[in-house]
């Protein structure tokens, strides 16, 4: 399958901190890839290279075969869905207006209807939720709105930066189900940044493990378990297994 997203030999520093150090990555069309790693590993920096929120100092990035440096940054961001950890909703706008933002900016013929369809997809009927403001929603509902906004203009690519990390376990599980169902229905390409290996295995076809600005291994959860490429990957898998075992024992 052709790559919808591709990074080649990316290098980037913030002062003396090397955030990316020779990173290369491909995401096939229609697939989801999760980027896993500890804080400071470079996950979010890599994610933001694809919508030009970060301009890497070296290397190249392409979206659907086009070098992002050849594309207008604003237009690029409008065609790529983006869900930050906090949702990023405008607090003084209603749910419907938040979700209709990109369809409006891209001159969709019916932005309100596009917002209604996206909200319905994530389980928030427009009649019940459209007129509410973000502060009137639960954390899980706000993240559903953020996901709806990322899809309202029929974006074929969605970038998600730890969108479920701040939620309680019940809300997080419900959002996992929503995300998986919507991906099956729409078939968009996605990159998901997360600390949670189990979440990665549940939501993505492949996983990229990052450490200190480098990718240690890319593969399915089965490949990472059976053939870890480095000691770090092996330790990450072992830690995830111990955590899962501890949950089972506590029950």
**pTM, whole model, 2 decimals?**
0.92
pLDDT tens per residue across span 169-193: 888 899 999 999 999 999 999 999 9
pLDDT surpassing 50 at residue 246 = no
According to DSSP, the residues that pair with 210 across neighbouring strands are 215
Q: Where are the alpha helices (DSSP H) in the chain?
A: 43-49, 73-79, 95-99, 101-105, 111-121, 126-129, 139-151, 169-186, 197-203, 221-226, 231-250
pLDDT tens per residue across span 123-167: 999 999 999 999 999 999 999 999 999 999 999 999 999 988 878
pLDDT tens per residue across span 31-76: 999 999 999 999 999 999 999 999 999 999 999 999 999 999 999 9
């Amino acid at each position: 399958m052709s790559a919808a997203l591709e990074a080649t030999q990316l290098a980037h520093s913030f002062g003396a901190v090397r955030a990316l150090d020779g990173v290369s990555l491909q995401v096939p069309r229609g697939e989801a890839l999760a980027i896993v790693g500890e804080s400071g590993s470079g996950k979010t920096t890599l994610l933001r290279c694809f919508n030009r929120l970060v301009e890497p100092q070296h290397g190249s990035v392409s979206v659907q075969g086009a070098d992002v440096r050849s594309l207008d940054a604003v237009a690029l961001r409008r065609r790529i869905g983006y869900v930050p950890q906090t949702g990023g909703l405008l607090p003084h706008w209603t749910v419907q207006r938040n979700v209709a933002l990109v369809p409006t900016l891209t001159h969709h013929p019916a932005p309100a209807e596009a917002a209604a369809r996206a909200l319905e997809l994530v389980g928030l009927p427009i009649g019940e939720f459209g007129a509410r403001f973000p502060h009137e929603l639960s954390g899980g509902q706000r993240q559903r709105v953020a996901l709806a906004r990322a899809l309202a203009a029929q974006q074929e690519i969605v970038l998600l930066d730890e969108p479920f990390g701040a939620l309680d376990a019940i809300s997080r599980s419900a959002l996992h189900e929503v995300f998986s169902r919507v991906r099956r229905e729409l078939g968009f390409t996605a990159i998901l940044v997360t600390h949670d290996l189990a979440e990665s295995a549940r939501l993505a076809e492949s996983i990229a493990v990052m450490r200190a600005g480098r990718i240690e291994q890319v593969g399915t959860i089965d490949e990472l378990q059976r053939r870890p490429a480095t000691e770090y990957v092996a330790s990450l898998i072992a830690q995830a297994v111990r955590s899962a075992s501890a949950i089972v024992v506590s029950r």
